[in-house]
Amino acid sequence: MEQKSFQTSEKGKLYLVPTPIGNLDDMTFRALAILKEVDLIAAEDTRHSGLLLQHFQIKRPLVSLHEHNYAKRVPELIAKLNSGLSVAQISDAGMPSISDPGHELVLAAIKNQIDVISLPGPSAGITALIASGLSAEKFTFIGFLPRKNSEQKRELEKLKLIETTLIFYESPFRIAKTLNNIQLVFGADTKVVLARELTKKFESYYRGTVADALVFLQQNTARGEYVLLVEKIPEKTIFSARSLIQRIEQDIKKGTKPIDAIKTVAKTTGLSRADVYEIYHKEKDDV
């Protein structure tokens, strides 16, 4: 059945409502209004979210939705949504489904042609990125790395191919191990930023190389949840004289003038035209 591309369902609506990542003043007026109006709120941890709702004097029915019960809970929530009831989904902090359970409910709602409405709000990764000083033009959100050391190293090896700022989440108990693996895979001079306790009283940033960050953690006890940002510098491709000359001669065989072939190779490799010219005329007879 064809999926709708706009919100017209007469069924209940599923609202994805962000919650503060620390400072309760970051709760939006719209988020509060939605939580006060829906028929049911699905939360990652009802005890944690119960305190949040109590703070804002919100009295709505609350049910749990987490990784251990989603197989049973999702069908129950979909049934309520199909009956016309509205549901708000929240996580312990930040945007639902970002390194938190809840994605399964969104997929089920879409499959059942139930409107899914996402409210904008706080995200620890983006909050840290724009204050990190690292490039925010292009970035890749990774979230939590595997806990096993060997699996973490394999994942980092894959990420070596990505030439954007990388964003990770990490606990204070594993941050040193993760930094050590980043040093092994990316190199000791890799620039990193450690953002800790964002929006809270003891919010802090550490900016430096990964080697320096490891020394910093040895001298300062790791506390609070971390956003770890890693700067990826594009690796320069090294072209051999043989490969450059082969490219030029291939173009010449196709009828291109030597000077034009040199210009083309210089442009495609990022090398200067003078360097390519010198390699071609001085070394082609030796390779």
pTM tops 0.85, yes or no: no
Point out the domain boundary residue: 91, 118, 145: 118
DSSP states of 71-132 as a string? HHHHHHHHHHHHTT--EEEE-SSBSTTSSSS-HHHHHHHHHTT--EEEPP---HHHHHHHHH
Domain that holds residue 268: 241-286
Q: What is the pLDDT averaged over residues 1-21?
A: 75
The total number of structural domains in the chain stands at 3
Same domain, 146 and 65: no
Q: Is residue 1 part of a domain?
A: no
Structure tokens, 267: 């442009």
Residues facing 139 on adjacent strands: 165
Residue found under tokens 């902090």: 93
pLDDT of residue 13: 97
Same domain, 186 and 97: no
Lowest mean pLDDT among 15-29, 62-76, 84-98, 267-281: 267-281
Q: Is residue 177 part of a domain?
A: yes
Q: Does residue 206 carry a pLDDT above 50? A: yes
Same domain, 94 and 192: no
Q: pLDDT tens, 154-172?
A: 999 999 888 899 999 999 9
Same domain, 208 and 139: yes
pLDDT of residue 7: 53
Same domain, 98 and 141: no
Q: Is residue 235 part of a domain?
A: no
Structure tokens, 239: 């072209």
Q: Does residue 3 carry a pLDDT above 60? A: no
